[in-house]
Amino acid sequence: GQNIDQPTEMTATEGAIVQINCTYQTSGFNGLFWYQQHAGEAPTFLSYNVLDGLEEKGRFSSFLSRSKGYSYLLLKELQMKDSASYLCAVRDGASGTYKYIFGTGTRLKVLA
């Protein structure tokens, strides 16, 4: 089956660093994605990992370990505008198609 786990809520302070973890189980792993979703808005793409290791994009980095079924999103120099839900999603290619399975999201609150 398919399963994605991530913490429900996290709180951090402006200027700090926060790491949001995601573990997954899937039969046909074909990439892991992180999305940001502000309340009442559509998800927007943050990062993509298909090979093991760290991908860095400015203040955001994402790490993947396929053998452990584990990823994390690292946010540095937190800003108030980073308060949002962060969605971990796995692309599953087991059936020959490419559907995305999303976790429930981690609500991040950034405090002044």
Q: Which residues bind other proteins (CB under 8 A)?
A: 4, 31, 33, 41-45, 48, 50, 87, 89, 91, 95, 97-105
Least Å from the CB of residue 31 to other proteins:
7
- Output 67 or 96, the one with its CB closest to other proteins: 96
Distance CA 18, CA 72 (A): 10
With the C-alpha atoms ordered 49, 39, 18, 102, is the resulting torsion angle positive or negative?
negative
- Output 96 or 112, the one with its CB closest to other proteins: 96
Q: Provide Rg for the chain, Cα atoms.
A: 14
Least Å from the CB of residue 15 to other proteins:
28
SS3 16: coil
